[in-house]
Chains A and B, each alone.
Chain A
Amino acid sequence: MSWFLRGVRRGVRTEKEPENNATWPSQLEVKGEFSGCPTRAIREGKWEPGKCVFCRRCEPNLVPTGNTVQPEVKTTNSLFRKSLHVFPVDVGSCGGCNVELKLLFSPQYDATRFGIFLVNTPRHADALLLMGVMVEGMEGPLREALDAMPEPKVVVLIGACAASGGVLGRPPEVNAHVVVPGCPPTPASIIQALRRLKGDV
């Protein structure tokens, strides 16, 4: 039997609204004062998702709602509406963001249906997607990748490490157009960010 038919028989369906059944990371609701945040993501009663590593220490003062963490999208470019080609660069990640990015292309999420594709060279990329804290050995390769990209180009940061340094180091110094919080962000958060960047939603 062909693999296509096997897939059909197994009944794995692409989900219209991606299922998010892990409590962490999810949007947090502030219910009380909390001062022991290891990344200072909570200050003066406000929660900054980009700094949060979702370590659960703030519970029950901050309560996970189960809703997808909202990305920060500063740019929308209709040039990318038909297709967005993404080149991922791991500048010092723990591997979590890398696997969640890979899972965007699992049948459950199927990011290609939204015209989102991974490419193997920055020369074919519209978006550079950065994961991890900035390590010395990756500074040169990151700069070369940015220079090699054609215009117009956008930079997407995924995960707390790239967004703020998280608990492990410092973030890459780049002008980011999209920031996806999470540690690691869920595939649902990443898809939402890339679709908003494309101007789909």
Chain B
Amino acid sequence: MRIVGQLGEKCLTTEGLMNSPCPQDEEGRPAKEYGSFTFSYGPLAGGPIESLALDVLTRGESVDWIDYVSSKNRKIPLAGLRVEDAILKVERINANFGAAHSIAFLIAVEKALEVEPDEKVVSSRIVELELERVRNHLLVLHRLLDAASLLVPAYTVLSAVEQVNRTIGRACGHRYFMGANFLGGTVCRFEPSMLVGWTFMKEMWKVLENRIFVDRLSGNGVIKDNSLIGPAARAAGMAFDARCDGGDLPYDGFRPVSMRDGDALSRLMVRMEEVESSIEMLSEMRTEPSSFIVPERTGEGIARVESPSGDLAYLVEVEGRMLRKVEVLPPSRANLRAFLSSSRGAIFTDIPFNWESFGIWVSELEVDLG
């Protein structure tokens, strides 16, 4: 059993929900020393793709302490809404994980309503999640290259991101899966021929021939502990992955890739391996629009899927089609803790590379569904 994270007031584990908060080790902020000062970065400092604010206690170059400062909290209350209306908001919690959020939410609702989804819908959900994973991992690579000012390879990777976005648009009608999933079905139509021209991975591996780039990542943000999830866990040798350890979608025979060093370079290499395995998986899948009948009941459901940055879970209580309660466990929360912990003791210029390597989205980190 492993702890996945805090879901509302309870703790989600791979074995289910525990009736108590997750245990957490809190590190103490060190006292200011002679010559140390707090440097505030953001939220409008340019650079990051989203608004981001950090406080860094430093003596000039070392990161003695680093903290996240909330600036972009969005209140999106879902209780009291019909599921059909709530899904419009759920898929906009984090557009880049739009498929993961909407699918986890819908599976939780289906469990609460005690309905088995249609096989074609399940298959479509796997295709969507894998397409989303490819897009996200390439975007992380782009952001890392951009941080290193390696602009030509960065833009080459961005062309691949656009290529994937267009494929998603053709398959599901929308580049971020919005409106593609609804209670009782999906509209996505995917076939392997849509991957023709996806030859970008041959070039992507070449970025690791650049010594300057590798040096920025190697040994940067080392972290290895059991609270890690997603690519960060797999980069530290732990094969944690909701695709094979009790998640809610059937990935038969799936084996996650893993590395050992637990640094930013390992996290990137895990992502690149995962892009290849996702493309391999997609090359054997086919989906079409499909739907099934959903009954009205009162109940509670929990669902967990592997988003591109790790475990993403929803807990819902429904009455008929009305939501009484919704709790979300976004992967960015666990990844933020890991980023902060692994950045302490580093140097200033390590921060952007370490931040990007965790694939954190502030949009889902700061969302308040209450």
Contact = CB atoms under 8 A, between A and B. Distances in A.
Contacts of A53: 88, 92, 178
Nearest to B92: A94
Nearest to A14: B159
Nearest to A124: B46
B46 A119 contact: yes
B49 A96 contact: no
Given A99-B139, A103-B162, A107-B159, A136 B203 contact: no
A186 B173 CA distance: 13
Q: 7 closest pairs, A vs B, by CB?
A: A120-B46, A96-B95, A22-B169, A3-B152, A106-B158, A137-B71, A56-B179
A172 interface: no
A105 B199 contact: no
A128 to B, nearest CB: 10
Contacts of B247: none
Interface of B: 43-47, 49-51, 70-76, 85, 88-89, 92-96, 98, 139, 142, 150, 152-153, 155-156, 158-159, 161-162, 165-166, 168-170, 173-176, 178-179, 187, 199-200, 203, 206, 361-363
Contacts of B168: 22
Contact of A6 (B44, B71, B203, B362): B203
A3 B212 CA distance: 15
B155 A99 contact: no
Given A56-B173, A56-B179, A141-B51, A92 B74 contact: yes
A95 B158 contact: no
Contact of A99 (B76, B88, B96): B96
B178 A24 contact: yes
Given A21-B169, A90-B72, A99-B161, 16 more contacts: A3-B153, A7-B152, A22-B174, A24-B178, A53-B178, A54-B174, A54-B178, A89-B51, A94-B93, A99-B139, A103-B158, A106-B155, A106-B162, A119-B46, A137-B73, A138-B71
A121 interface: yes
Interface string A96-137: 101110110111110000000001111000000000010111
12 contacts: A21-B169, A24-B179, A56-B187, A90-B51, A90-B72, A94-B92, A94-B93, A95-B361, A99-B95, A103-B161, A120-B46, A144-B44
